[in-house]
């Protein structure tokens, strides 16, 4: 994490594989001293379990500045994205299941119909995520920072 960044911003070094017409293909590198132990998103990230110092995850990101293959850059994820992801991935699906169970119980449906209602609510939630995936992509957008030569 760079000294000028906010503490909740997630930073990872990355290696540029390709740059074409404003889109960079980068491989995110797991650093041995990357601070994964203190990161709130560690459990769902997957980078902490990868081989140290090796390229692990590939991503295509917008980058208007030309980059050359082999160049080191920093990939950042906006602050509080980890909490948004936790809410979308865990809290809201559990809430949908609970709402379905509660509605089934209030309506006096049997156990099987209540379970199907709960699963139907979960399917509708998943469909909603799918329909709004472009908006969600913008909310969780990663960006590329090109470090100064003296910061590399």
User: Could you report the per-residue pLDDT of 23-82, keeping only the tens digit for each?
Assistant: 888 888 876 555 555 565 555 555 555 555 555 677 788 888 888 888 888 888 776 777
pLDDT in tens, 5-22: 455 677 788 888 888 888
Q: What is the pLDDT of residue 34?
A: 54
Degrees, nearest 5: CA angle 82-87-89: 90
Question: Which comes out higher in pLDDT, residue 136 or 122?
Answer: 122
Count CA within 13 A, CB hemisphere, residue 78.
10
Distance CA 41, CA 83 (A): 8
């Amino acid at each position: 994490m760079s000294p000028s960044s906010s503490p909740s911003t997630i930073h990872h070094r990355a290696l540029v594989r390709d740059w074409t017409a404003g889109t960079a293909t980068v491989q995110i590198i797991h650093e041995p001293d990357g601070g994964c132990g203190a990161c709130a998103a560690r459990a769902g990230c997957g980078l902490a379990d990868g081989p140290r110092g090796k390229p692990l995850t590939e991503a295509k990101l917008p980058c208007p500045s030309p980059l050359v293959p082999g160049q080191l850059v920093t990939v950042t994820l906006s602050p509080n994205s980890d909490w948004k992801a936790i809410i979308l991935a865990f809290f809201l699906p559990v809430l949908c299941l609970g709402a379905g169970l509660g509605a089934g119980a209030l309506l006096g449906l049997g156990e099987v119909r209540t379970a199907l209602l709960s699963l139907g609510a979960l399917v509708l939630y998943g469909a909603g995520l799918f329909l709004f995936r472009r908006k969600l992509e913008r909310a969780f957008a990663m960006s590329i920072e090109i470090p100064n030569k003296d910061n590399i």
